[in-house]
Amino acid sequence: MARVTVEDCVEKVSNRFDLVLLAAHRARVLSSGAPLLVDRDNDKNPVVALREIADGALEPDAVAEDLVASLQKHIDTEEPEEGAPVEKADQPEFDRITEEEYIRALKASGMTTPQSLPKG
């Protein structure tokens, strides 16, 4: 079992900081069940990820694309169909009332001063 060194990997990924990011991401992917591209040889996932990069079994650009995609949040920008109900699950309940309506409701209930507000 040959030990992988950073010098072996720097030939594939010239920036050491990028190398750490890519190897860490690949190690997380391996721990989630992705197939190995090299023999494990009783090594842990970070070492296997570095060995995959050093052996050329893994394309660093592909790992970088996968890393960026894993950090992005997909937001659906399609308009709802005509007549379809609009979901406002992201909008909290308290945002549905205007300030004027809130003041009017307070006055109607008799709680207009801070002293008359319930303590709790």
- The pTM for the full model equals 0.56
Rg (CA), the chain: 28
Q: Using pLDDT thresholds of 50, 70 and 90, give the confidence band for residue 29.
A: very high
| Domain 6-71 coded CATH 3.90.940.10 | yes
Q: How far is CA 81 from CA 31, 87, 88, 89, in A?
A: 41, 12, 15, 18
Average pLDDT of every residue of the chain:
79
Cβ atoms 58, 52 nearer than 8 A: yes
> For the chain, what percent of residues have pLDDT higher than 90?
20
Sorted by where each begins, the domain ranges of the chain are 6-71
Other CB atoms within 10 A of residue 25 CB: 18
Measured between alpha carbons, how far is 5 from 114 in angstroms, rounded to an integer?
68
- List, for residues 42-101, the tens digit of each pLDDT value: 899 999 999 999 988 888 888 888 888 888 877 667 776 776 665 555 545 555 678 888
